[in-house]
């Protein structure tokens, strides 16, 4: 063994979501909703992280008739709040909370960030 399994286990441990209480405070989801979302997220992404290529594959399943990869790229960037090139559960659920249950101002700010491709404001 080259230690790859141990490294993978550490990676999975490092990317567990923030505490449930913190996510309850950061989002407008209930505890049951967060638990359900987390199960779905882990089912699609067992490592706890989603890179851009995986995100594009998942997103394309919702739009099988065309090439959604360009739009998926911009969505990935908008969800990747810490700009580290990977989505963790917290990135995903905070963005989803804004989109589904945010104020009009929060939604507009999120949408502006999505379309501000060069991030010049």
Residue-wise pLDDT for 10-55, tens only, equals 444 444 455 888 999 999 999 999 999 999 999 988 999 999 999 9
- Asked if 87 and 55 count as a contact pair (C-beta separation under 8 A), the reply is yes
CATH homologous superfamily of 30-115: EF-hand (1.10.238.10)
What residue spans define the domains of the chain?
30-115
Structure tokens given for 81? 């709040």
Instruction: Give pLDDT, residue 18.
Output: 52
Q: What does pTM read for this prediction?
A: 0.77
**Which residues are within 8 A (CB) of 39 and not within 5 positions of it... i.e. 6 or more apart?**
none
Mean pLDDT taken over the chain: 84
User: Is 105's pLDDT higher than 60?
Assistant: yes
């Amino acid at each position: 063994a080259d230690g790859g399994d141990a490294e993978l286990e550490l990676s999975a441990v490092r990317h567990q979501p923030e505490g449930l209480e913190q996510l309850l405070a950061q989002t407008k989801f209930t505890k049951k909703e967060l638990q359900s979302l987390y199960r779905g997220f882990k089912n699609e992404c067992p490592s706890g992280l989603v890179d851009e290529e995986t995100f594009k594959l998942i997103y394309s399943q919702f739009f099988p008739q065309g090439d959604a990869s360009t739009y998926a790229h911009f969505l990935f960037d908008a969800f990747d709040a810490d700009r580290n090139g990977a989505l963790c559960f917290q990135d995903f659920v905070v963005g989803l909370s804004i989109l589904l249950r945010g104020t009009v101002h929060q939604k507009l700010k999120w949408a502006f960030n999505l379309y501000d491709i060069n991030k010049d404001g």
